[in-house]
Structure formats: C-alpha cells, structure tokens
Amino acid sequence: MKPKVAFFDFTSCEGCQLEALNLTAEEVLALVDAVDIVNFREAITERADNYDIAFVEGSISRESEIARIKKIRDQAKIVVAFGACACIGGVNCLKNHMPMEEALKIVYCKDAKYYDTIPARPINAVIKVDHYIRGCPPVTAELLKVIKALLLGKKPDILNHPVCVECKMAGNVCVFERAMTCLGPVTRAGCGAICVNSGRHCWGCRGLVDDPNVDSEKEVLKKYGLTVDQVVEKFKIYNTYAEVAK
C-alpha cells in the first residue's frame, strides 16, 4: 500500500503549492509511483479524507482555521509544515503589530464588519508539527528530500547552519561590503543563498537556526557601522510571530 499524501492550504498566497508543482516530469513520475496524492486543490479535483501524510501550507489567521487544522492533525499520522507561513507565521504576521480591528479596516474598509481575523500564527502554535520544510517558497529539492526520508521511515535531515555558509560556498561578496544588511548570519540554510546569488540579501524567510549567534550578527553590524534597528526591520518581514511572542 502506498502512503496517502494530502496538501492543504490555510492563510497563504499558495506559492508553496505552486512550487511543488514545479517538480520536473521525472520527479513527478517518481512521486506518483511512490505515493498516492489524494488531496491537492491546485493539482487534482479529488478530495479524500483518509491520508497518512499532510503537507500544510499557510498560517492560521481565522478562528475557523483552528478547528480545520485540528481535524487534519487528528487524521494525519504525519504533519509537515510547508513553507514560511506555516513554519514561522511568515508575512501574514505583519498585521500582528496592530489591533485586529484596524487590520480589517485597512484591508476591507467599510466591509470590515463581514470578516473575522485573529493574530496570525504558525501551525505549531495550534497543533503538534512533525517536520518542517522552510522557505518562501520552499525549494523543491527539500520537499523531495523530506518525502524520501518519510517513505524510508527516517527523520528528515534538516540543515542547522546559517545561510552565510552556503553564500560563501557560492562565492558571493558579502552584501555588508556594499553597505546593505543581511539576515544570513542567523537564518537557517537550505536555499543555497539564492537571494544573495541574485544580487539581493537574505530576508530570513527560512527562520532562525537553532541557537542563532546574535552576538556575532551584532559584531558584524558594528564593524560596518550599522544599527540593530536596521536589521530588526528586515527581521519583521518573516519573523514577526517570534518577535511579538518574545
């Protein structure tokens, strides 16, 4: 019997699921050979409630989503948080800096009364999560790595070193040398430092490494005459939930 796999979306742009659909034809064939995909709104019309592994995209930002995610947890043997919104709250948590009534008014104006919202949160604030596939969006290689490990009954081997390591290996000149700031020293690797490779800096979409070396980040800032506040502004984009929960 092949394991039954389902993909679900909560508050999100659904870019993580789109990224999953970016697998190559060979990868898709290998995947459908190994698992039965029984629920994936962006890709198939079937909807089944019996699944073993649930990949959950998006954060929780409405009361009704709490009951829904708990139901998924009750059904699935394994729950995988898929993408930054699900893993760390991500961009949806930016609204947590203001009262919810204000956020509703900004978005829906006079129709705000028809909608409900609660402070956004990652799914592990509501249910137990077994594994994480990080990033906004995640890289497909990591999705495949996690699926492969789960099929073998192993714990996925997730990197726990900073993006700087991959950035240096890619041969980039550090953006601090160009008077920019970067969250690479405290952000979990796994993306290959894709943003820096493309001429930008790291925004921290993969969340923090365990035990981030904050002192080292501060030393780098000091060396380049930058302030902690300049970095905190960038940190807020994806990591507001962790910051507000402190």
Nearest position to ligand SF4, beta carbon: 184
Q: Using the rule CB under 6 A, which residue among 52, 57, 65, 142 binds ligand SF4?
A: 57
Interacting positions 191-230 with ligand SF4 (CB under 6 A): 191, 193-196, 201-206
* Dihedrals phi, psi of 212, to nearest 5 degrees: -65, 145
Interacting positions 16-55 with ligand SF4 (CB under 6 A): 16
Strands (E), 83-167: 131-133
Using the minimum distance from each CB to ligand SF4, give the nearer residue, 38 or 186: 186
Using the minimum distance from each CB to ligand SF4, give the nearer residue, 140 or 172: 172
Instruction: Output the furthest CA–CA distance in the chain (Å, rounded).
Output: 60
> Do 195 and 166 form a contact (C-beta atoms < 8 A)?
no
Separation CA 230–CA 232 (nearest Å) = 6
Contacts of 51 (CB under 8 A, 6+ apart): 4, 5, 6, 38, 39, 75, 76
What six digits make up the tokens of 120?
């956004």
Separation CA 244–CA 1 (nearest Å) = 44
Q: How far is the CB of 26 from ligand SF4 (least distance, A)?
A: 24
Using the minimum distance from each CB to ligand SF4, give the nearer residue, 3 or 156: 156
Pattern 91-130, ligand SF4, x by CB under 6 A: x---------------------------------------
If one asks whether residue 89 binds ligand SF4 (CB under 6 A), the answer comes out as no
> Do 18 and 137 form a contact (C-beta atoms < 8 A)?
yes
Helices (runs of H) and strands (runs of E) counted in the chain:
10, 5
If one asks whether residue 133 binds ligand SF4 (CB under 6 A), the answer comes out as no
Q: How far is the CB of 75 from ligand SF4 (least distance, A)?
A: 22
Pattern 147-166, ligand SF4, x by CB under 6 A: ----------------xx--
> What's 131's DSSP letter?
E
CA distances to 162, 188, 223 from 210, rounded to whole Å, are 10, 8, 24
Q: Using the rule CB under 6 A, which residue among 172, 212, 224, 244 binds ligand SF4?
A: 172
- Give the count of residues interacting with ligand SF4 (CB under 6 A): 37
Residues contributing to the site for ligand SF4 (CB under 6 A)? 12-13, 15-16, 57-58, 83-85, 90-91, 135-137, 163-164, 167-168, 172, 174-176, 182, 184-185, 187, 191, 193-196, 201-206
